[in-house]
Structure 1
């Protein structure tokens, strides 16, 4: 009886060890190669950022509000709208594959920052659009 228990235990351990060994020794072509250096292009892409789109919408609102209040002339507002339209196209292009890489996110944020500064400069310059009475 004691011999049978020892034999069963030994057989079970052999099977478990064999299964564990089989899992850890996959063929070389099945194992993915680790990148040597982590670069922005090698980092995993993240899902599209709604924050970028939301910020673009807020900037559109700032332009409309500036035109409505007279802080922006019609020409200034059209120029800023063109910049925002260009940003929208860049966002759509970056999200085309459903992912937004860190490099794409950085580029879009820089473009949003430039547009935001342009809105501020144009809203606070000396040019005023007089509202029609």
Structure 2
């Protein structure tokens, strides 16, 4: 199982390094934000996310969305902008998971 996980991570990292994001990737970022919002709302509805945690997650999501809008002001995401947004979304995703499972 561990070897499979490492292989998947290596494949994903290689694919990400070779992939040159374009404006299509902006849709991926937006779709991910929507899915994360759904996870947050489900956590609140199920009582797994406290009001303070909710406020923090919403603030962070809004910041990512503002960064995405700013990055798209020239019409496309550069590779660096895409990596930066993806990294921030990964961090928020982990926070959502932790908040829902604490």
TM-score, structure 1 normalization: 0.59
The count of residues paired between Structure 1 and Structure 2 equals 82
The structure having more radius of gyration, on CA atoms, is 1
Structure with the larger RCO, 1 or 2 (CA within 8 Å, 6+ apart) = 2
Following superposition of structure 1 onto structure 2, how do residues 56-71 of structure 1 map, counting pairs within 5 Å? 56-71=33-48
The equivalences for 1:33-72 within 5 A come to 46-48=22-24, 49-72=26-49
Displacement of 1:82 after TM fit? Answer: 0.6
Change (3 A) 1:75 1:100: same
Aligned to 1:39: none
Q: Which residue of structure 2 aligns with residue 73 of structure 1?
A: 50
Displacement, 1:109? 0.3
1:15-74 deviation per Cα after TM superposition (whole angstroms, max 9, x unaligned): xxxxxxxxxxxxxxxxxxxxxxxxxxxxx8722520110000110111111001001111
Q: 1:103 aligns with which of 62, 80, 89?
A: 80
* CA distance in structure 2 between the aligned counterparts of 1:90 and 1:50, rounded to whole angstroms: 14
**What are the ranges of 5 or more consecutive residues in structure 1 without an aligned counterpart?**
1-43, 126-133
> 1:4 maps to what in 2?
none
CA offsets, 1:93-114, max 9 Å, x none? 1111111111100000000000
Q: 1:75: how far off?
A: 1.1
Structure with the higher helix share, 1 or 2: 2
CA RMSD of aligned residues (A): 1.4
CA distance in 1, matches of 2:23, 2:59: 27
